[in-house]
Chain A
Amino acid sequence: MRKAFPFSAIVGQTEMKQALLMAAVEPRLGGVMVFGDRGTGKSTAVRALAALLPPMMIVPGCRYSCAPVDSAPCIEGCRERAGKAVQQVPVPFVDLPLGATEDRVVGSLDLERALATGEKRFEPGLLAKANRGFLYIDEINLLEDHLVDLLLDVAVSGQNVVEREGLSIRHPARFILVGSGNPEEGELRPQLLDRFGLSVDVRTPTDIGDRIEIVKRCDAFDREPDAFCARFEDAEHKVVDQIAAARKRLPKVEVPDSILELGTRLCQAVGADGLRGELTLLRAARATAALAGKKLVAPHHLASVATLALRHRMRKNVLDDTGSTARIERAVAELVAA
């Protein structure tokens, strides 16, 4: 298998990297939407993060990558079959192709078995494959609407419910949904956008030095992938340790009342719709505090995630051109400084 580009070797794009790390630490954030031009390293970053995470343990041969110890029973009774054996696999990374059919995504009746032996068997789809890993959808705004609905529903509930072709099956499908898209090619419906936890705007790096560095690193990686990865090994270990420590710390991170109030005031100030935004804002702030190694969420944690968590939830006046980001930054500056 080809080595993935090291996560820490990605030049710039700090906002995207921060959002992905937060999603890796706190899966309940509910996915990351990356808006931006092509060739900005979106898919590279997501792939790199998936490859970076330490391998996970599964029940050998389970088609849903069940964890050996989990309260949720597997629909195929894999644990009973496998006994105490465990298997180590890399964290799954599923790239959902744009033209994927619903069959392929949700899973369907196993055609082979049905026709040849008459057996009714479920053929798991991409959602099963992505369980406990990442599901990446490039150009999500071009995906058919009913598929986007379905994906977001599964991503939030963590369960894939199949009721079709005489099958009635539900299986775990917990994954970090990462969507990307270019708003110039068609927009995502606002009610779908709202379901994503974080939203990132990536821009092509304009600094010529950064661009040269990117080209150089890609070139070095092309020619000597092993040597290149070795160069970033220490940095990669640091990120892995940071994620592991943050995951452990996260349940213990406290959110003081003053921060809860600040979050509410911030959401009101920018006119972000719904409770979901507020909840995401606080969860993101908590994940940031955990990543920073703190036990208490501070105002600056909240400030650093405000744009990520709220940017895509603001009521838009079509004829008003003021960017959402600018409005949030203004509100943050007023409230957090005060």
Chain B
Amino acid sequence: MKIKTGLLVILGLLFIGCGKQAPVPGVTDTEILIGNIQDLSGPMKELGAVLPAGSRLYFRYINEKGGVHGRQIKMLVEDHQYNPQKAVVAAKKLIEKDQVFCLFQVIGTSTCEAIRPLLAESGTPLIAPATQSGTMSDLSRPAGDLIFHTDTGYDKQTNILVDYILKQDANAKIGLIYQDDDYGQNVLKGAAEAEDRTGVSIQKEAFQRGATDFTGQVGNLIKGGANHVIIAGVVKEPIIVMKTAEKMGYSPQFYGTSPTMDHRVALAAGPAGEGFIAANFAHLWNSDAPAAVQYRELCEKYEVPEAYMGMYHFYGFITAKVLVEGLERAGKNPTRKRLVKGLETLNKWDSGAFPPITYSSKDHAGTESVILVQVKDGVQTVITDWVD
């Protein structure tokens, strides 16, 4: 008797097990699970908590509205400490153990590059990697068809900046200060393209990641006579470069790639940073763009602490919008393939913050334009529309 009951129970459990088994990883009738890998305790930990918080803000809004096709969005965040090896471990955990539907917003270039083989092997899409490296949208690389880039690449940004400079001043002598790593290499690629296209020659000065002294580079630029200088740094570098130039009595027009587009640059550089022009791949969080208005409303509604609000939090918010749009387009029964197909139907789609996004099976770059933001009287002011 007991054996029979036991067998029945086991059989019953087996059937339940079969019935419950989700055909698509990470998707149940009520929930979509996505994975996010951030730098929470490494060199970029300031961004690590802020980016997903911005995304959570939008997910919360969507979830309270009833979710995507009736499914709530749930996001798991892992830490990679900006180490590619750890990023692979984290991605493996999310994909194999937690069974996420897709990856989202993984930060860093080398970390995203490192998880490419894993994405290709498991067929997991990665939406909106949080890096502006143009290599992300290279379809010839492994998993290129699974990665959807939202930001305008550094190479493209450099091209746009050079064009902008030449439009202002046809006889411009252009200098470039770049970080000697993967970021800088992508900038150099853009600079080389611009040189080929326009015929100007750009004076290039490298610095090591983490450098705090730029006297040598600025001195060389003075010797070379550059009167327009592009700084491909993050936040600290443009501040120090501009202050050093001021001390050395050198006053070219300074430009910066998107990572320098932080309000702290204007604040810390003071008078030396006046007139600094930075490229940005999205509207400012405090602008009148529709997504920015919605963002500020939601921040108020959900009582987001003021310390969080800003460019990076907003970036998390708008990339979440892209993901949600993709999930909407993936249909009522989403699969990873349908998500890819859904995103590839985006055609000049207006997120309200990014330039119009277009994806196709031959193009995963999404956007190719930037706005230019200039520091005027210590305040960042948008001076152009989308330029490409």
Q: Do they bind each other?
A: no
Q: A residues touching B (Cβ–Cβ < 8 Å)?
A: none
